[in-house]
């Protein structure tokens, strides 16, 4: 069974939640960005990652805006279930941007990253990474990956959401960047059943196909 949840921000207590106790060996948990356990490369952090890689269920995540992109890119890259991943430790994997994975028979398109609201402050203290936003090449690769699936997938997993959903949930301020333009394009061109996203610390279903995730753990239908 595949389950999804929102931003963890490096909080181990979230992984001890009652909702996660139902996950069994062979199940999969996908985190919609801001995983947060790859941050300072400390001995403690490495020990935690090793422990997560030995979890009874598999943990997969996309990047958000509070993940150390320089560290993340140092992990070995490989092909897994049809897409590219960084293998962090054991079965703990980072699902790279613009990929389509086949997991338990489901076609899942992933596109992590976003635009930090507090970019100026974080630039000053060295905790902001330009890689949080995609390049033109990554967008082109994502289009190609979707086209290879005839622009049809079961599920989309992102950190941020598209313009229509942002307005629906009442987020202030327009976001205009390569990522938001691409997400708006995906809405028009790609067939999908469900779209899960994190980022906004909100648990809210937006009928008929969208789900904002933070602390909830939701099975993929």
Q: What is the number of alpha carbons within 13 Å of residue 114 lying toward its C-beta?
A: 25
Q: Tell the CATH topology of 2-219.
A: Purple Acid Phosphatase; chain A, domain 2 (3.60.21)
User: Torsions phi, psi of 206, nearest 5?
Assistant: -120, 95
Burial of 6-39, coded b for 16+ CB within 10 Å and e otherwise, reads bbbebeeebbeeeebeebeeebbbbbbbbbbbbb
Of 71, 1, 2, which is closest to residue 35 (Cα–Cα)?
Answer: 71
Mean pLDDT of 24-44: 95
Phi, psi (deg, nearest 5) at residue 95: -80, 115
In the chain the beta strands, taken as DSSP E runs, fall at: 2-5, 28-31, 58-61, 77-80, 83-89, 92-95, 99-103, 106-111, 155-158, 194-197, 204-206, 210-212, 218-219
Q: How confident is the model at residue 169 (pLDDT cuts 50, 70, 90)?
A: confident
Q: What is the pLDDT of residue 123?
A: 59
As a whole number of angstroms, the distance between CA 31 and CA 157 comes to 9
- 78's CB contacts (< 8 A; 6+ apart) are 84, 85, 87
Q: What is the pLDDT of residues 95-120, one digit of tens each?
A: 999 999 999 999 999 999 988 766 55
According to DSSP, the residues that pair with 83 across neighbouring strands are 80
Question: How large a percentage of the chain has pLDDT more than 90?
Answer: 79
Please report the pLDDT score of residue 118 as a whole number.
60
User: Alpha-carbon distance 55 to 11, whole Å?
Assistant: 16
Measure the CA–CA gap between 190 and 185, rounded to whole angstroms: 8
pLDDT confidence of residue 124: 45
The crossing angle, in degrees rounded to 10, of helices 136-147 and 178-189 is 10
pLDDT surpassing 90 at residue 221: no
Mean pLDDT of 148-170: 93
Confidence of residue 174 (pLDDT cuts 50, 70, 90): low
Instruction: Specify the pLDDT at position 115.
Output: 81
> What confidence tens digit (pLDDT) does each residue in 61-70 have?
999 988 898 9
31 confidence band (pLDDT: 50, 70, 90):
very high
Domain segments of the chain: what residues?
2-219
- Give the pLDDT confidence of 117-140 residue by residue, as tens digits: 665 555 545 676 778 889 999 999
Q: Which two tokens mark 110?
A: 């992933």
């Amino acid at each position: 069974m595949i389950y999804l949840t929102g931003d963890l921000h490096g909080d181990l207590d979230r992984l001890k939640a009652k909702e996660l106790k139902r996950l069994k060996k062979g199940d999969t948990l996908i985190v919609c960005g801001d995983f947060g356990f790859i941050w300072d490369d400390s001995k403690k952090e490495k020990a935690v990652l090793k422990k997560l890689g030995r979890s009874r269920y598999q943990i997969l995540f996309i990047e958000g805006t509070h993940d150390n992109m320089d560290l993340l890119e140092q992990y070995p890259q490989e092909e897994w279930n049809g897409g590219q991943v960084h293998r962090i430790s054991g079965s703990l994997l980072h699902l790279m941007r613009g990929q389509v994975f086949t997991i338990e028979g489901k076609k899942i398109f992933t596109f992590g990253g976003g635009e930090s609201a507090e970019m100026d402050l974080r630039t000053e203290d060295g905790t902001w990474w330009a890689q949080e936003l995609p390049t033109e090449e990554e967008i082109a690769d994502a289009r190609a990956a979707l086209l290879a699936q005839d622009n049809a997938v079961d599920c989309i997993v992102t950190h941020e959401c598209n313009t229509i959903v942002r307005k629906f949930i009442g987020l202030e301020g327009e976001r205009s960047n390569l990522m938001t333009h691409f997400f708006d394009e995906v809405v028009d061109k790609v067939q999908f059943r469900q779209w899960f996203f994190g980022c906004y610390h909100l648990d809210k279903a937006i009928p008929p196909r969208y789900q904002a995730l933070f602390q909830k753990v939701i099975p993929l239908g």
